[in-house]
Amino acid sequence: MAGTDSTKNEILGGPTIVLVGPQMGENVGSAARAMLNCGLTDLRLVRPREGWDSGDSFAMAVGASRGILEAARVFETVDGAVVDMDRVYAATARVRDMVLPMLTPRHAAGEMRHRVGAGQKVAILFGSERFGLHNEDVARADAVIRAPLNPAFSSLNLGQAVLLVAWEWFMTGNETANVTVPDQGEPPAGHQQMESFIAHLDQALEEGGFFPSPPMRPRIMRAIRNWVARTNPTNKEIRLLHGVLASLSASRLGKDRPYRQPGTKKPLKGGGE
């Protein structure tokens, strides 16, 4: 299902976005931009206001997302726009007099990912800026997508609404780790590099009379170790820190005593890497 071949899923295919009666070109444009941000490409418009494809929409849809506007298809009716679909969702905050399942965007996204993975075609209807979706349009859908928002202020701009739903779709297929640290091409410091720095620091602190008493030394060094470990330094950063430490020790002692990193021949200079 989701995410096994995420790169492909992210860039190609995915739900069709149907804007029903959009009034402002800039919103069509920002919807197109949000779609491409999230790897969606099939845009359909039902009775858009005339001039929707004028400057405003193309100004909002920067760069590659203009291709989505150019390829957008226009339909007279919602039925026509979704005739080839296996499942239709209506994105709307208001559902009046209808008993349709209402899904959070996150839940709907998981469902859509499953269906698209099974080869089904899926569309999401968005209403016009002023009136949203009419009841007859919502009745053509199999389910409603409703973003739970601040109940005191839940009115979303059309482009923002498309982004939320498209983003949730995208995230179901995305495998980015929660936390990554860009290493700038530098590998993380290994155990030995870390130990060598801790030993250097321990020695410098001992020489400076930092430890109140010998029994305190291991406990204090453990606290310092914890702090250093949390920083997950790179090799380059460890070299930098050796240099910082050597410089601080030298200036404290009032003498020029460059520290030699174990295994290197060149003394490190201030800020030297």
Within the chain, what is the greatest distance between any pair of CA atoms?
A: 85
CB of 245 to a second copy, least distance (A): 19
63 or 212: CB nearest a second copy: 63
Cβ closer to a second copy: 37 or 196? 37
The single-letter code of the amino acid at 61 is A
| Parallel, antiparallel or unpaired: strands 43-46 and 102-103 | unpaired
In the bound state with a second copy, the residue whose beta carbon lies nearer, of 90 and 103, is: 103
List own/partner pairs for 62-66 with CB under 8 A and 24 or more apart. Answer: 62/33, 64/36, 65/29, 65/32, 65/33, 65/35, 65/36, 65/37, 66/32
Binding positions for a second copy, rule: CB under 8 A:
10-11, 30, 33-34, 36-39, 60, 62-65, 95, 97-104, 106-107, 147-157, 159-160, 163-164, 167, 170-171, 174, 176-184, 186, 234, 237
Spatial separation of the C-alpha atoms in residues 201 and 223, rounded to whole Å? 13
| Residue 153, token pair as written in the block | 């202020």
Report, in Å, the least distance between residue 257 CB and a second copy: 29
Q: Nearer to a second copy by C-beta: 4 or 203?
A: 4
Q: How many CA atoms lie within 13 A of 182 on its CB side?
A: 1
Closest CB to a second copy among residues 156, 244: 156
Residue 169 CB, shortest distance to a second copy, in Å, is 11
Q: How far is the CB of 248 from a second copy (least distance, A)?
A: 21
* Nearest distance, CB of residue 36 and a second copy, angstroms: 5
